[in-house]
Structure 1
Amino acid sequence: MTVPTPDEWLANFNAKIADVKAKTEAFEQDLERSGATETSPDGSLSVSVAPNGSLTNLRIDESAWRGNGAELAQKIMGLARKAQRQAAVNVAEAFAPLGGPDHEALRMLTGYIPEEEDEEPEGASYSFAEESTPGRDPVQPPRPPAPPRPPRRRPDEDDDFTNDDLFGR
């Protein structure tokens, strides 16, 4: 094995840094474009999501109001799931060049991509019914309680070692 000269080592190191920088810039641009939009077959509904799957836009044309509220909600939720799945696929595709197809982080990301759905899954429903259970909104499913937050630190509890007395100054 040949030992590189310092100049060769530095040139190789700078080339690796330039490659990582180019891949990072490409990833950032691809990530920004990783959101997704799904539109109903008749074009009356459109749902857009950000790369993290959060809703960014919902368009409902007047023609979509035919039928009842439960059907409309079901269509919206179906489009939202499709858009969220596509956004997850887009994020995974944007990430792939950084680590390669066998990278553990990419396997983790793609492990969370939901399977495509042909129809509405059983048990998932939303309605605009007038009846409601006391203390519960009929449109929103119940949420599990949030995990407890760690206590906040006071500013005087910093661990940044800026106390000059520590160093005898």
Structure 2
Amino acid sequence: MTLPTPEEWLKNFNAKIADVKAKTEQFQQDLERSGATETSPDGSLSVTVAPNGSLSDLRIDESAWRGNGAELAKKIMALARKAQRAAAVNVAEAFAPLGGPDHEALRMLTGYIPEEEDEEPDGPSYSFAEETTPGRDPLTPPRPQFDPPPEPPRRPTRHRSDDDEDFTDDDLFGR
């Protein structure tokens, strides 16, 4: 094996740097576009998530308000999960050219992509309860009830004893 000349080595090194720079710029562009939007079949709901899966937009058409709040919440949550999965797949696809398909970081990243769901999972969800109090306008939210703050503890009175004094008659500041 022959060693490359300094010029050849520098040329190869600069080519690798240019390749990494181009891949990094492409990754950044792809990552910025990795968010996802999912829309309900009838078009009345639309959920958009950022590349990290956080909710960035929610659109609810007037026609979506038909029915009860629990059904609407269930539809929104299903769309959000679907959009989060799509965003995770987009991020993994954006990352793949940097490390290649067998890269450990890519395997770790794709290991967190949730499976596609055919039906709604059991578990935590959101619901809306329609509670009304007689004499209260149902469209005005109730005022929160707060307990008064607890009384602060009282400071113990300090009794000076012989133990609190130092053992010398010297003034601390030498006066």
TM-score bracket for the superposition, by shorter chain length: 0.7 to 0.9
For residues 17 and 111 of structure 2, the distance between their equivalents in structure 1, rounded to whole angstroms, comes to 30
Equivalent positions of 1:117-132 (< 5 A) are 117-130=117-130
CA drift of 1:130 comes to 4.8
Q: Which residue of 1 aligns with 2:67?
A: 67
For residues 28 and 127 of structure 2, the distance between their equivalents in structure 1, rounded to whole angstroms, comes to 39
- For the pair shown, the structure with the greater C-alpha radius of gyration is 2
State which drifts further: 104-113 or 122-131: 122-131
Q: Which residue of 2 aligns with 1:110?
A: 110
- Report the TM-score when normalising by structure 2: 0.73
For residues 11 and 123 of structure 2, the distance between their equivalents in structure 1, rounded to whole angstroms, comes to 60
For residues 73 and 115 of structure 1, the distance between their equivalents in structure 2, rounded to whole angstroms, comes to 21
Q: Which residue of 2 aligns with 1:31?
A: 31
Q: Which residue of 1 aligns with 2:96?
A: 96
Q: Which residue of 2 aligns with 1:17?
A: 17
Q: Which residue of 1 aligns with 2:56?
A: 56
Deviating runs (4+, > 3 A) in structure 1? none
How many residues in Structure 1 have an aligned counterpart in Structure 2? Answer: 131
Equivalent positions of 1:129-140 (< 5 A) are 129-130=129-130
Q: Any unmatched runs of 5+ in structure 2?
A: 132-175
CA drift of 1:126 comes to 1.6
Matched residue SS, 1:121: coil
CA drift of 1:123 comes to 1.9
Identity of aligned residues (%): 90
Q: Which residue of 2 aligns with 1:45?
A: 45
Matched residue SS, 2:38: strand
Matched residue SS, 1:63: helix
**Deviation digits for residues 68-112 of structure 1 (CA, Å, limit 9, x no counterpart):** 000000000000000000000000000000000000110010000
For residues 129 and 21 of structure 1, the distance between their equivalents in structure 2, rounded to whole angstroms, comes to 54
For residues 55 and 126 of structure 1, the distance between their equivalents in structure 2, rounded to whole angstroms, comes to 15
- Report the TM-score when normalising by structure 1: 0.76
Q: Which one-letter code corresponds to 1:38 in the other structure?
A: E
